[in-house]
Structure 1
Amino acid sequence: MLETSSVPSLAELHALNPLQQPTYADAGALDSVIGKLRTLPPLVFAGECDELRAKMASVAAGEAFLLQGGDCAETFEGVTAANIQGKLRTLLSMAVVLTYAAQVPIVKVGRMAGQYAKPRSSASETRDGVTLPAYRGDAVNGFDFNPTSREPDPQRLLGVYNASAATLNLTRAFVTGGFAHLRRVHSWNADFVLSSAAVQYQALAGEIDRALAFMAACGIDDDIFRTVDFYSSHEALVLEYEHALTRIDSRTSLPYGTSGHFLWIGERTRQLHGAHVELMRHVRNPLGVKLGPTTTADTALELADRLDPDHEPGRITFITRMGAGKVRDLLPEVVAKVTASGRQVAWVCDPMHGNTFEARNGYKTRAFADVVEELNGFFDVHEELGTWPGGVHVELTGDDVTECVGGSDDLVEADLVNRYETLCDPRLNRNQSLELAFLVAERLTSGRIKRAALAVERPLVPSTAP
């Protein structure tokens, strides 16, 4: 049974030697911050997490598709109306295209309102002979390369709470106040479509135009198009923060992680008996687990058994990040063996993290072509196995940054210097994100047509015709 009766203490979690954790110099200051966090209201509600878990069960069953995206690492300075609006606008624009193509509900989840901490490959950074702690996100320390900025500061955890609350408040206002109206959202794609040389993008946009006009002519209630469901997600990395925001629901007496609706465990912290898995297996949120190129099918099954012993629909999402050159070789065995076990998990592709490289001018970047190649490999594998490619998980922004090369704007490495604004990993800009949505839409449309053809060839119910 899922162990929710008692949440392990922080001391018990630290006894498991958790990885990727900051080292705080002042234990008293840390305890004071944790105590304050425990008194603050939850950022999300248990009922909302239950709703999302039900939607993720639909994703796992092949009846919905997940679109999850946002910043690699949010920053406190980025908590502005314009920044939040830009990311939300991009995600909603993508969702319209995907909804029409897939003809199933799109579950919309932002890497927003909590993605302030990042795992790092090295605990320190050296510049010009000076070594300081690595920047681990605004939840932990500052980006500026000096001893004061790089010292882990527990007060920043309160900053995460406040920034997340502000982001959630504005996001809720946007998605319920008319900003997310379907007709308005579709119109946002117009500039991209008009500037694109791809005839198929223009054709799809035209089809959506006609569908909206048809619904209007039929007198469909306009209120239906005014609001959308939107959820928040982040990597549950800093144990002090996640533990302090784990609350017991008054309705069910069960624990929920109230720092976000959808919490995931990263590639570097998914040790089967590690602290992060131990904490997350007690909370009732829908959970994600990143699976990189070192993952085996047995590892995936062991993680699923530990996090979801009851085989609960919507509980587990495997977010695969194999890399463009490895996905077709590594993913089939994992998907096949998990599926053969009888488990119905949601399979989601993260085409970003396995495709990072350093440009000749020293900038960390990703090639749009590699992102697309991994996505195509992901869809190819699921098509061959007859399983459902349940979603995409991308790092993106609503701004015209120059952090990833390629795409419809044909950015090259020399362009990276123009607007390279991320403090961690490179993100797709707005045009690259929309182009990705149209490309995914093509795969979803193709898959839908093939599934319909198979259903005709092999009907589930025998024909009663004479």
Structure 2
Amino acid sequence: MTQFSSDNPARAHRFSLANDGSGLEELSGWRAYPRVQQPTWPDEQELATVFDALRAAPPLVFAGEVDVLRSRIAAAASGEAFLLAGGDCAETFADATADRISAKIRTILQMAAVLTYGASVPVVKMGRMAGQYAKPRSSDEETRDGITLPTYRGDAVNSFEFTQESRRPDPQRLWRMYTTSAHTLNLLRAFTGGGFADLREVHSWNRGFAATPAYKRFERLAEEIDKAIRFMDAIGADFDALKVVEFYSSHEALLLDYEEALARIDSRTGEVYGCSGHFLWIGERTRQLDGAHVDFMSRLRNPIGVKLGPTATVDDALALIDRLDPDREPGRLTFVTRMGADRIRDRLPALVEGVRDAGARVAWMTDPMHGNTITSSNGYKTRRFDAILDEVVGFFEVHRELGTVPAGLHMELTGDDVTEVLGGTDHIDEAALEKRYETLVDPRLNHQQSLELAFLVAEMIAATSPSRPS
């Protein structure tokens, strides 16, 4: 894998600043570029005060962790692992409780166990957690009953309640985003390093969940894992690798004031890391080549993602690669496609072929959620489980036909038994949406639907594995 070296002037210029911490001001170069999806903060002095506090605060993640993740994504891009990312559409401060966080972690761990055991492939586990507090919106304002207020942009910016005071962008929320993310990461590290994620506890991951068909199928898989572990124990195998797991945090790097404030310089090398999360991505609405988000992210050493929707062209993809990954470094860049089930088989092949033929080494993930959003007849923003499954199937079909690697799955999900996505073996219909529709932005898969999807993906990975590069 290509590594940073001081004799590469281009990379040194892009990623390195002075070791003494001076020079972070260079990261503010994004301010000279067109900015989209940024709040209009009413008090710039208050924003500056919060920015300074964040700049002085400890990092949320560390350079060494980020470097390991980059190598893991490189493995996924070459077919030697599979990247699984999941979590809330938009985290909320109120839901950052131990129970809610542990339920999401358990769901991702269960999905990873299904994928690992069913497809015999290592799974890189990543949560849309500890930073996913802001969302891009289609309009700056919202009107209800003749009253127009700023749009809700996530708890990092304002509150969901439809009042003038609640919808006022508040810079103090950036500080709360930081502290809540720190609490979430503390829990995440405790859960995944303190025995909660031990594969020998695989049965306990189902506790608290309803006895659904997906639950029962997972129980059968857990029994098979138990049998394998008992065999390993009988022959004296080392269980250290089963006790803890690597679990990484990710979010859309949307609020650039926050991201800049949490950038840090690695004292070992002088490289610049975005220390708000391990993996940061640029959204479909903010991937403009001449825009602030692409400029800022080009300066960070993190592995980064870019969402590509159905309007993305080969020229768009290649230009983004040139800007964000000019050295073609494995693990550096991930393209997360969000096409829609009805368009993925038509739109994705040209992108994958164009990138492949250009010699780029990106990881391809599918986000089957955002291209399949509909409004139900009773007024709920929702998605159909069958459409989500179909987009995932289409993603694998395209890569199988082209001989390329389907490297990962990017999901909006929760560990709770919400009713936000239509369908699944629990047969959620439009009337059921009214029972437990809890999301403030986009609908999420519940625990059962997440497991159903994992079993399907495991079968598809296993089916494509003979053509995966060695």
User: What band does the TM-score fall into relative to the shorter chain?
Assistant: over 0.9
Q: Does residue 20 of the first structure (1) align with residue 55 of the second (2)?
A: no
How far is the alpha carbon of 1:195 from its aligned partner? 3.9
8 Å Cα contact 1:248-1:254 kept in structure 2: yes
Query: What residue number does 1:353 align with?
Result: 370
TM-superposed deviation, 1:103: 1.6
TM-score (norm: length of structure 1) = 0.93
Residue in 1 aligned with 2:285? 268
Residue among 452, 457, 463 paired with 1:435? 452
| 1:109-145 alpha-carbon deviations (Å, 9 max, x no partner) | 0000000000001111110111100000000000000
Question: Structure 2 CA distance, aligned partners of 1:140 and 1:192?
Answer: 33
Q: Provide the rounded CA distance (Å) in 2 between the counterparts of 1:345 and 1:197.
A: 33
Decide whether the 8 Å contact of 2:203 with 2:219 is kept in 1: no
What's 2:441 paired with?
A: 424
Aligned to 1:155: 172
Q: Which runs of 5+ in 1 are unaligned?
A: 461-466
User: Could you give the per-residue CA deviations for residues 140-189 of structure 1, whole angstroms, max 9, x where no partner exists?
Assistant: 00000000000000000000000000000111011010000112135535
Asked if residue 293 in structure 1 is aligned to residue 310 in structure 2, the reply is yes
Shift of 1:209: 4.2
Determine if the alignment matches structure 1 residue 336 to structure 2 residue 347.
no
The superposition leaves residues 89-110 of structure 1 with CA deviations (integer Å, 9 ceiling, x where unpaired) of 0000100010112222100000
Paired residues, what number? Answer: 453
- 1:4 corresponds, among 8, 15, 40, to 15
TM-score by length of 2: 0.92
Out of 51, 57, 66, which is 2:83 matched to?
Answer: 66
Task: Single out whichever of 337-346 and 236-245 deviates more from structure 2.
Answer: 337-346
RMSD (CA atoms): 2.0
| Preserved CA contact (<8 Å) 2:29 2:296 | no
Q: Relative to structure 1, is the Cα distance of residues 309 and 352 closer, same or farther in structure 2, using a 3 angstrom cutoff?
A: same
Match of 1:113 among 130, 139, 162: 130
Equivalence for 1:284 = 301
1:369 Cα deviation from its structure 2 partner = 0.5
Which of 261, 279, 283 aligns to 1:244? It is 261
Structure 1 position 214, deviation (Å)? 2.4
Distance 2:211 2:401 in 1: 35
- What SS does the aligned partner of 2:249 have? strand
Tell me the alpha carbon deviations over residues 316-338 of structure 1, each in whole angstroms, 9 at most, x when there is no partner: 00000000000000000100110
Note closer, same or farther for the CA distance 1:274–1:262 as it changes in structure 2 (3 Å cut): same
Residues 278-321 of structure 1: per-residue CA shift (max 9 Å, x gap): 00000000000000011011111110110011111100000000
Q: Which residue of 1 aligns with 2:5?
A: none
Paired with 1:317 and 1:446, the residues of 2 have a C-alpha distance of: 23
Alignment match, 1:463: none
State the distance in 1 between where 2:355 and 2:392 align. Answer: 20
Q: Structure 1 residue aligned with 2:467, among 431, 451, 454?
A: 451
Q: Select between 186-195 and 330-339 the one with higher mean Cα deviation.
A: 186-195
* Per-residue Cα deviation, 1:198-246 (whole angstroms, up to 9, x for no partner): 9987875554443333223322223321100000000000010000011
Contact kept? 2:305, 2:333, Cα under 8 Å: yes
Counterpart of 1:111, as a letter, is R
Gaps of 5+ in 2: 1-9, 18-23
**Residues 1:205 and 1:227: Cα distance change in structure 2 (over 3 Å):** closer
Residue of structure 1 equivalent to 2:418: 401
Letter in structure 2 aligned against 1:142: S
- Look up the SS of the partner of 1:66 in the other structure: strand
SS at match of 2:105: helix
Residue type of the alignment partner of 1:24: W
The amino acid that maps onto 1:451 is S
1:213 counterpart residue number: 230
CA–CA distance in structure 2, aligned partners of residues 150 and 252 of structure 1? 42
Q: Give the Cα–Cα distance (whole angstroms) in 1 for the partners of residues 442 and 246 of structure 2.
A: 28
Aligned-residue offset at 1:421: 0.6
Residue 464 (structure 1) aligns with? none
Q: Which residue number corresponds to residue 39 of structure 1?
A: 56
User: What is the aligned-residue identity percentage?
Assistant: 61
The CA distance in 2 between the partners of 1:258 and 1:198, in whole Å, is 36
Matched, 1:325 2:342: yes
Q: Secondary structure at the match of 2:411?
A: strand
User: Does structure 2 conserve the Cα–Cα contact (< 8 Å) formed by 1:266 and 1:289?
Assistant: yes
Q: Please identify, of 196-205 and 129-138, the stretch whose mean Cα deviation from structure 2 is larger.
A: 196-205
8 Å contact from structure 2 (residues 87, 104) kept in 1: yes
Which moves more between the two structures, 10-19 or 393-402? 10-19
User: What residue is the counterpart of 1:363 in the other structure?
Assistant: 380
Q: 1:137 to 1:200 in 2, by over 3 A?
A: closer
Assess if the C-alpha contact under 8 Å between 1:10 and 1:240 holds in 2: no
Deviations 1:342-386 (A, max 9, x none): 111110000000000100110100111010000000000000011
| Displacement after TM superposition at 1:13 (Å) | 2.0
- Counterpart residue number, 1:76: 93
**How far, CA to CA, are the matches of 1:235 and 1:197 in structure 2?**
30
